[in-house]
Structure 1
């Protein structure tokens, strides 16, 4: 999904796109029908061509589930117990869990690729001397292997957070008390969750930790990504010249200065790291503003915030993977810059060894 306002947005792939959300909502309704003993495959009954009309009609009820149900009821036999006992929030929250679970799987693939690239850099440069910098100024000698190991540690931490995520289904009925579903409500909710390969859970309509935890994991990713991008941006300045991004035809150019090769991957990764904390804060704000049995606007705020946060993180992850896989390390320039520093490199080797051990045990 391209976006003129966010160059590189297509790198995020399908998760949390409008078609992905539509398919997820259909999967939830279909799984619920199966739990009720009336199995019906809904995938394909509503298509991407229906999205604009559903989106326009969503304003009338405040969410896209209501117009989706209207389309489904037009295309299904009248005796199908579609949505029976559910509420719109059940469908949308569970669909978002399906979408974010897919996003998490995609992110884990990118994080693993980044870890592989970083392990290669650490091993290749564990003895490569360079000057360390504190408060932007020359400090003492270190090694580029340790610098890369510090990057690796951040990515490992982010991977741990993503891998630990839980994705609970949401089945609560009209006001979150399972009323209107029947005595077997909890059992039906569990059947539905398991058919979707989600975690069975009690209703969480106004207890939004499942959403804020996803946001926090995504932010830990962009924190790690931004830290690496900042170092590459600084070290690729001509007056420092210790690192360079991988070259690609047509990338890094300037409309006014054809001699330039800008570190555009790092620029765009840093952009994501700067933008995503606001969306994470919005998720926490929405959680804090929840009230009664369904919030009046806070719940509605989450959808776009989570979509933007997730897709920005996924795009940045893919950009960083490419950056690390082809990063050019200019050891001779590191040596030149080191001439003006003191000469004790410190105990870098034990730190590097321990971080590499953690990466190998993941």
Structure 2
């Protein structure tokens, strides 16, 4: 019997990754504590997370002073600081990585968000980040924009593990899995060991509900309001159905037989935004074998405190999930418009956070000089 809800979640096949990283968390031992006490087996980062960590600043002061003395510019300083944190976190997770045979113990770092629509630039930065972090349990985050799809294929083809981020629509998710399989085929042709290449596909959840619920309230009918807070979970459940179908295909089977790994679905944006909803909604309603749930600490602690894990809550719910999306279309919610908007906003938010990060590091460099 599991002693905690997070242990039960792990036993149900869900890998718990923390959606946060800071030097303080690494150096104080808090990250190691979460591994030991909360069943955390990975970490994801993004520009917003790094901007938040750097804004507190104290534990970065010595490195910033050294970078300033060496004449480093802002871009160089940010690169050094963030890759150092990811490398250190990867070392904290190395035991998890070894114990799981490379399945978990992963730490993700994202290419600069300004490259979201630049295929060649994304591939080049992905390779640079991979080489600089220099840890087998790192993952490079690449957004699932149209231009990102080719970058995903090329990066996987180069033997680099990838966390695909900012996936909102089912059609784009299909394209992401296609890019992964094509990348594996490219990697195999180049002689890479497929067993060393890992990938997750980060399918966003709560942001879908936030946007769709606003539209349902604006429509205002009883039929529309009855659909509130159902879209995010339904969308993710249908994504898992696509995952099962894709990796049961002959094409995928041939790659798996050659040593490749499945590209696991990762539930992102799992912090509940609506206070009227259960704070563990996007955890307990999305339990399925072989998925990752990357949680902000608040959601992790809520799950640990009172999450009710009853086993698989996804694979038997495909018809119901499809009915939700059909009903949304009938009341006038344009799914394609919603997901396209969320992708644009996702990229824009990370660009803003990255600018804030550059500004804060620039100010720190100036003060150190």
Same fold (TM over 0.5): no
Larger fraction in strand:
2
TM normalised by structure 2 equals 0.23
- Asked which structure has the greater CA Rg, the reply is 1
